Amino acid sequence: MIANTLTVVLILAGLVFFAAGTAGLLRFPDVYSRLHALTKADNVGLGLVVLGLMFQASGPADILKLLLIWLLVLAAGTTAAHMVAQRTWTHGEFESDR
């Protein structure tokens, strides 16, 4: 019962970060502030969802797998954000063909 409540609370908290990150991605004016909003969804939002799901895991193996997923997304997300920011810094905002 306590585990289920914790899961629901943590996942809902994570979803708030995802919603805020998405809103920021859509509404913020430039690349840097959009990245700032997006990385919050990836890092904290997914972290809270993973933490919530850990209370439903059937054993330590599942918990470690969930942790690994979060760490991998952290590494990949951070690098991707860094590369987008770096490219914007050196080449200016991305311009589409149209």
Partner 1 sequence: MNGLLVLFDLVLLAGIVGVAWRCLASTDLFRAVVLFITFGLLLALAWVRLEAPDIALAEAAIGAGITGALLLVTLERLRSIMAERRSGRPHTPPPDPTGPHALLRALHDPPPERRTFLPALTFALVVGGLLVTALWHQPQSTGLEPVVDAHMDVSGVDHPITAVLLNFRAYDTFLELAIVLIALLGAWSLGRHDLIPARPAPGPILPGTLRLLVPVAIVTGVYVLWAGSHAPGGAFQAGAILGAAGILLVLARPHQLPMAPGVPLRLGLTAGVALFLLVGLYGLVAGHGFLGYADAWAYPLILLIEIAATLSIALALVALFVAGRPAGDDA
- Residues forming contacts to partner 1 in the complex (CB under 8 A) are 72, 75-76, 78-79, 82-83, 86-87, 96-98
Q: For residue 33, what are the CA distances in angstroms to 13, 21, 42, 72?
A: 22, 10, 15, 23
Structural element, H or E, at residue 88: helix 60-91
Q: For residue 96, what are the CA distances in angstroms to 11, 32, 36?
A: 36, 18, 22
> Measured from the CB atom, is 27 or 87 closer to partner 1?
87
CB of 21 to partner 1, least distance (A): 16
CB of 74 to partner 1, least distance (A): 10
CB of 73 to partner 1, least distance (A): 11
> Measured from the CB atom, is 1 or 96 closer to partner 1?
96
> Measured from the CB atom, is 12 or 72 closer to partner 1?
72
CA 80 to chain centre: 12
